[in-house]
Structure 1
Amino acid sequence: MSSFGAGKTKEVIFSMEDGSVKMFLRGHPVPMLIPDELAPTYSLDTCSELPSCQLKLDWVYGYRSRDCRANLYFLPTGEIVYFVASVAVLYSVEEQRQRHYLGHSDDIKCLAIHPDMVTIATGQVAGTTKEGKNGGNLLCAVDKSKDHMLSVWDWAKETKVVDVKKHEKPKYVLCVTFLEGGDVVTGDSGGNLYVWGKGGNHITQVVLGAHDGSLFGLCALRDGTLVSGGGRDQRVVLWGSDYSKLQEMEVCEDFGPVRTVAEGHGDTLYMGTTRNSILQGSIHTGFSLLVQGHVEELWGLPAHPSRAQFVTCGQDKLVHLWSSETHHPLWSRIIEDPARSAGDPPVFGLGCFLSFFFYIIQK
């Protein structure tokens, strides 16, 4: 056994007995098996020439919303912005093109858009000015320490303005949206809507029981109406400027409850759901699936030997067959147990690939 130190969190260990190399990423060991033909002569000190070509990220599949909120926005460029794993994605639905921000080294958990609709913050949420409008000069962050410290930052100067411990009650306010006139609307874990008057801390209107269960998403629309998305009831509701209910619909159970809502061109809405899906459509015409991913850890990812297709499977018991040309699933299946890997059974040969049959190794 030999080891190579490259910093406290980047130690590399080679085990001749196991025929493996173990690296530590963010403190977690990641073992990698060495091919049998290379194991007898393998050495950590061997230097290989760098490849003449480099890989470039073309497309990111999936979306994270199961444990996040307010992380889906529509930009003036015609792109929707969201994140999955450590990548921030700007996705042009019309052009079927993605741009990516790759500066993070760990999972992104939250996202905010500056009022200029150009500057995007990942990991923070925007502050407000005394006039009740979003000024964008300050950012708020809540850390994952025991006390869940809330800090306010002057992001341009990279300095902290103030910090304070969070109290228990505010955590039940699950979503917020700012109206054009300066009022603020919040939704809570009881399914209630509260309207807060401009420039003050008093409640001007209450809609009790707007949803059955937690109210996760709010979006103020350009025409003065409001859209809310519920958790347990999986409903999307359109509210008038006087907060009277205009229309409602229920989201398909396969997609899960609504986490966040964003307004696109015309009457188009984009919704993120708890099953890591992004839906596109409107309350009037219904919604269709735009982005789909896995809900839990992904373990298996084999590619078809001759077609532009691949399969993914994992802990969520879902198996997806994807087209790498359209970037959408061709079909999805639910299996009985979590899956750990998938692959082409060599004994059957290519002749048995009528559609794309893979052998799934379940946990």
Structure 2
Amino acid sequence: MANLEIQDETHAALHLGRSRVVLDISSAYAGSFDPAKSQEAPDRQLQLEWVYGSRGSDCRNNLIYLESSGELVYFMAAVVVLHDVNGGTQRHYTEHTDDVHCIAVHPDRNTLATGQSSGHRKVQGKAHIRVWLADTLQTLHVIGEQDFQRAVCCVAFSSYDKGELLCAVDEANDHHLSVWDWKAEKRLCQAKASKEPIMDVEFNPQEPNAIVSCGRGQISFWTIDDARNLEAKRGTFKDKEAPKYILGLAFSPKGFLVSGDSSGNILIWDKGRNKITRELSGAHSDAVFSLTFLRDGRLVSGGRAGRLVLWDDSCQRKLMDTEVPMAYGAVRCIVQGKGERLYLETIKNCVLEGSFSDGFSPISVGHRDELWGLAVDASGRFLTCGDDRLVALRDPETHKTLWEAQVKQGAHCCSMSPDGNLAIVGSQTGHYIVLDAANSGAVLQTKKISREQIEDIKFSPDGQHVALASRNNKIYIYRVSSNNGQLDLVAKCQGHTSFVTHIDWSADGTLLRSNSGDYELLYWKMPDGQREFDDSVTRDAKWQTGTCCLSFEVAGIWRDANDGTDVNAVCVDAGGTLCAVGDDFGWVNLYSYPCPVAAPDRRQGGGHSSHVTNVAFTPDGKRLISCGGRDMAVMQWLLV
């Protein structure tokens, strides 16, 4: 619960739950401030421009190529991305309300089905399937809002009957497999599939009403009888022990089925039967993560170690193989593009493009774990870092990743020097890591300064000092001696009674302000680190950045239902007219700035499916970057 209480003409108290913060009122408001006054939303709105990465870390078959438009289709967080690789543009389907977990394309190659998990929103927060058109992004049907429990983890269209049926697997305890007349939004039949996870499900393109599913220790061959009952036969492995996991399925144009397992074997199954006809034993040295048949009938398989193998159309002879750069992770999904071009999705949430002859390079680089770190430099390039230890510098104009660096500790925060030459990353283990931002991202220096996580980092406006806020309640002030990454400690700010969460430098570099976990707002003299208690100094200060969540100018962002943890990040644009807020409910919020009044109107951007951990404007005011926590997404918004 948050509200404002006026104490006198120059002070206000912001209440957050049981905590109370006294804030200075700018002289512009003294004597005339009305906390009950309404404030309109800004004229500009958020339009999703680009999503970085795709969800391959824990989802399968998350890549489709549309021949008619030349677009790749994949999902990240609650957004389905339609990526025109040649045109360098993206379109987005944004009707989902929580994490998308699966996708399938109809035989018409334009109708798509996407399944989501149940979420935290009261409206349409239930697990369901959405059927929609790729060319217009029009939703045709919403299926199963009252039927699925946790999430729809697998979905597939039938192909023998030209796509009249839709099969889905619910990620509930019994992993129910259901078949739907999707045009009528009617469930035709359902059965318990397995107590263990289901990895893949496919309709048999050669037989009516035949479905195959696979998962831990089993592969099941399902048929729909005349009474609309689902019956299953388990696959038999002759005298062999069943694999620990069967991870993927693919039907050959010749009609036979292949499966890949966790032991590196590819099994060929008899047409329409639950028996093995042949085995490619040791096809890979480790788990077979992905299988796809090319248009000419040849098979491509991908292994956990990054090896990609091309087999002939009878799956008897290996034709060639290649290694995929393991910096981007093992191949989770393979699709054929135009000609011999292949597109790969990896378990590190990246999308690669290439061929067996030319090799593979990334066209989209994502994070594979929770991320909080985000920083923008004076040119507009932005840096992200996360628990996966990946640090990446990106260009918002070209959407290219300029460099990537893998650091040794989980990363939590970052900052870039005003000249763009240095980047400093704060780790979960109390280290700072200095990188060469101008070139390759090479690590220049690493030093442990705290036993606790580094929570925030900010360079001074002139770049000569940098402040590092720690979870140990202290702020460390360093002098930046040169571009070689050498930092010299000059002061420690001590006075907070809880961990420091956010810091801002004043525009003239003489002040620092800071927030803490117990909702304090403190001011510090720079660079000596002493407390500043003089209201006349702090009241009229101009701030280089506006990232402190607790200040009078942004008091209105705290809604009545909020507690002190619901707002994760704040950023004020360079023009001082807009304020972006990332919250725990998956929203990117846009307010007019300043916003000191209670419950000001706002614009909202949806697409994240978990807490929004950080937001940052580009210096030209054209774009906003946002980071998701558990959804691992980096999103780029146009301000229109």
TM-score by length of 2: 0.48
Equivalent in the alignment of 1:314: 386
Aligned counterparts of 2:313 and 2:369: Cα–Cα separation in 1: 39
* Structure 1 counterpart of 2:383, one-letter code: V
Aligned residue in 1 for 2:398: 326
> d(CA) in 2 for partners of 1:322 and 1:286?
23
Matches of 1:114 and 1:330, distance apart in 2:
36
Amino acid at match of 1:89: V
Q: CA deviation at 1:197?
A: 3.9
Look up the SS of the partner of 1:110 in the other structure. strand
Decide which of 74, 82, 90 is 2:74's aligned counterpart: 82
C-alpha distance in 2 between matches for 1:269 and 1:16: 54
Structure 2 residue identity aligned to 1:278: V
The one of 212, 219, 226 aligned to 2:299? 226
With over 3 angstroms needed to count, the CA separation of the structure-2 counterparts of 1:344 and 1:241, relative to structure 1, is closer
Q: Which amino acid aligns with 2:375?
A: P
Considering fraction of residues, name the structure with more strand.
2
2:412 to 340, 345, 348: 340
Match in the other structure for 1:191:
264
1:277-296 to structure 2, matched below 5 A, reads 277-296=350-369
Whether the 8 Å contact between 1:153 and 1:159 is mirrored in structure 2 is: yes
Distance 1:46 1:140 in 2: 53
2:46 aligns to what? 55
The equivalent of 2:104 in structure 1 is: 112
| Alpha-carbon distance, 1:86 to partner | 0.9
Distance 1:60 1:202, change over 3 A: same
Say if 1:255 and 1:277, in contact at 8 Å, map to a contact too. yes
8 A contact 1:115–1:134 mirrored in 2: no
Residues 38-187 of structure 1: matches in 2 within 5 Å?
A: 47-76=38-67, 77-123=69-115, 124-128=154-158, 133=160, 135-167=162-194, 168=196, 169-170=217-218, 172-187=245-260
Question: What is the number of residues matched between the two proteins?
Answer: 327
The verdict on how the C-alpha distance between 1:2 and 1:153 changes in structure 2, with shifts beyond 3 A counting, is: same
SS at match of 1:164: strand
Tell which structure's C-alpha radius of gyration is larger. Answer: 2
Shift of residue 270 of structure 1?
A: 0.6
CA 146–210 in structure 1, closer or farther in 2 if over 3 Å, else same: same
Q: 1:152 to 1:317 in 2, by over 3 A?
A: same
2:342 corresponds to which of 252, 258, 269: 269
Offset at residue 361 of structure 1 (A): 2.4
Root mean square deviation of aligned Cα: 2.7
Q: Aligned with 2:264: secondary structure?
A: coil
Q: How far apart are 1:134 and its partner, in Å?
A: 7.0
Sort the Cα spacing of 1:307 and 1:224 in 2 relative to 1 into closer, same or farther, 3 A: same
Shift of 1:312: 0.5
The DSSP-based 3-state class of the residue aligned with 1:302 is strand
Note the alpha carbon deviations across 1:174-219, whole angstroms, 9 max, x for none: 1112222333222222222223344444433332221122211111
Corresponding residue number in structure 1 for 2:459: none
Query: Residues 57 and 354 (structure 1 numbering): CA distance in 2 closer, same or farther, change over 3 Å?
Result: closer
Which residue number in structure 2 is paired with residue 250 of structure 1?
323
Q: CA separation in 1, counterparts of 2:50 and 2:88?
A: 10
Tell me by how many angstroms 1:160 deviates.
1.6
What amino acid maps onto 2:323 in structure 1? Answer: E
Change (3 A) 1:195 1:55: same
Question: Could you give the per-residue CA deviations for residues 206-263 of structure 1, whole angstroms, max 9, x where no partner exists?
Answer: 32221122211111111221101011x3210000012111111122221221111000
**Structure 1 partner of 2:539:** none
Give how far 1:344 is off. 4.5
Distance 1:46 1:219 in 2: 61
Q: Gaps (5+ residues) in structure 2? A: 4-13, 116-153, 197-216, 220-244, 429-640
Please give the TM-score of this superposition, normalised by the length of structure 1.
0.82
Which structure has the higher relative contact order (CA within 8 Å, separation 6+)? 2
Where in structure 1 do 4 or more consecutive aligned residues deviate above 4 Å? 16-20, 34-38, 40-43
C-alpha distance in 1 between matches for 2:91 and 2:247: 29
The residue matched to 2:218 in structure 1 has which SS? Answer: helix
> Percent of aligned positions with the same letter in both sequences?
42
Q: Counterparts of 1:136 and 1:164 in 2: how far apart (Å)?
A: 21
The code of the aligned residue for 1:170 comes to Q
Partners of 2:424 and 2:350 in 1: how far apart? 26
| CA shift in 2, pair 1:79/1:127, >3 Å | closer
What secondary structure sits across from 2:382 in the alignment? Answer: strand
Q: How many angstroms apart in 2 are the aligned matches of 1:37 and 1:16?
A: 21
1:64 aligned counterpart, secondary structure: coil
The alignment partner of 2:403 has SS state of strand
CA distance in 1 between counterparts of 2:300 and 2:251 reads: 12
Rounded to whole Å, the distance in 2 between the matches of 1:42 and 1:332 is 48
